[in-house]
Amino acid sequence: MNPKELLKIANEFGTPVYVYDAESIKTQYEKLTSSFSKQTKFFYAAKALTNINILKYVKNLGASLDCVSINEVKLGLKAGFPKEQILFTPNCVDLAEIEEAMACGVHINIDNISILEQFGNKYGSSYPILVRINPHIFAGGNYKISTGHIDSKFGISIHQVRHIERVMKSTNLNVEGLHMHTGSEIKDPDVFLQALDIMLELSEHFPNLKYLDMGSGFKIPYQETEEETDVKTLGKKVEKVISEFSQSTGKKFELWFEPGKFLVGKSGYLLVKANVIKQTTATVFVGINSGFNHLIRPMFYDSYHVIENLSNPKGAERIYTVVGNICETDTFAWDRKLNEVREGDILVFRNAGAYGFEMSSNFNSRLKPAEVLFLDGKAHLIRRRDEFEDLLKNQIEVL
């Protein structure tokens, strides 16, 4: 999207506001589908962005849906995804939530021995499942988003495969799929091949296997010096490994991936207004009308977002520290070079589509922003801005 379109949206809907470019999502999805074989399915990781309009849009593109909570499953069904196209991959939930997903008829992925045993003892082979394996591979752009290392809470250790086999034997459990997800922001495509090799090696322990789910973690560039995961090269390498395995064993598996950030991250823009310019003895602060209650990634993951001044794009470059209006240290960028910022200017945070609004809150009793979908050259309001009454809607006054 160009600056004029973004400024028009800021003027029409106010700030802060999240804007999502539908064409960007489509481009990213088509990169994936053109890079892998037709036997590969892509399950959009709903946790990245669950606005019902985004879910409907990716469904219409042809994607399936990956969910990590029962409410994401329900949102997916409401958005029109067939139950066969929904995968439920929770962690640290009780059997009751698993059973609620079973009642919906979706694919179930179990990631710990305790629930596996409970499920097997109660349901046996009556409901096929996937099992999430922890491959003990350290990968990802930050320790907090690395999910496959030895101390991760996610998945069943590869060293517990014999335990899984015992549960299968004693309960007649029907395991139709294996799942691995090593982390997010993975720069090296060979990490996926390493995980694939492990899954293919483990496949001999699961006679009913149909699906191999490699998770995701495809990287998008947040800075000009970064590169996106080369999915075309990865697709060729994966196809070669799968083909050679099939020729030598006669086994064929459907391959699944779960892209979230890769699909929606680049599509998103957070538009904000510069409230104040505050100069101290050493620093010039730009204080904006947003905070980590709207975009927590820079504070949570030390993540980088390109910030631009849409209102004064040709202004002289100056050094600023961009901060929010929350009563905590919510610094978006230290000593960032921006075109001169004046009070009232509109700034944009780029690549804010994934885990932006989705991780927002009402901290400091601040209101959540609006969301806009830019589709076919037109801006559509897809979530209204919070109003004061929204802060009280679930509270019960007893005094």
Whether residue 60 is found in the same domain as residue 36: yes
In a domain, 6, yes or no: no
Mean pLDDT to the nearest integer, 385-391: 97
Whether residue 199 is found in the same domain as residue 287: no
Domain boundary among 205, 232, 262: 262
Amino acid letter, residue 80: G
Whether residue 176 is found in the same domain as residue 111: yes
In a domain, 342, yes or no: yes
The domain of 65 spans 22-262
pLDDT band at 185 (very low <50, low <70, confident <90, very high): low
In a domain, 254, yes or no: yes
In a domain, 9, yes or no: no
Mean pLDDT to the nearest integer, 11-22: 98
Half-sphere exposure of 294 (CA within 13 A, CB side): 30
Position 106 scores a pLDDT of 98
In a domain, 173, yes or no: yes
Mean pLDDT to the nearest integer, 149-175: 89
Whether residue 249 is found in the same domain as residue 307: no
In a domain, 223, yes or no: yes
Whether residue 249 is found in the same domain as residue 321: no
CATH number of the domain bearing residue 83: 3.20.20.10
In a domain, 13, yes or no: no
Q: Which residues are part of the catalytic machinery?
A: 327
Whether residue 127 is found in the same domain as residue 161: yes
Domain boundary among 239, 262, 285: 262
Whether residue 35 is found in the same domain as residue 150: yes
Domain boundary among 229, 262, 295: 262
Q: Identify the bridge partners of residue 347 per DSSP, sorted by sequence position.
A: 272, 309
Q: Binding site: what residues are annotated?
A: 217, 297, 301, 328, 355
Overall domain count for the chain: 2
Mean pLDDT to the nearest integer, 262-266: 97
pLDDT tens-digit profile of 279-305?
A: 999 999 999 999 999 999 999 988 999
Whether residue 192 is found in the same domain as residue 299: no
In a domain, 10, yes or no: no
Q: Binding site for pyridoxal 5'-phosphate: what residues are annotated?
A: 217, 355
Whether residue 41 is found in the same domain as residue 174: yes
CATH number of the domain bearing residue 374: 2.40.37.10
Whether residue 87 is found in the same domain as residue 153: yes
pLDDT tens-digit profile of 88-128?
A: 999 999 999 999 999 999 999 999 999 999 999 999 999 99
Whether residue 236 is found in the same domain as residue 346: no
Whether residue 254 is found in the same domain as residue 337: no
Q: Binding site for substrate: what residues are annotated?
A: 297, 301, 328, 355
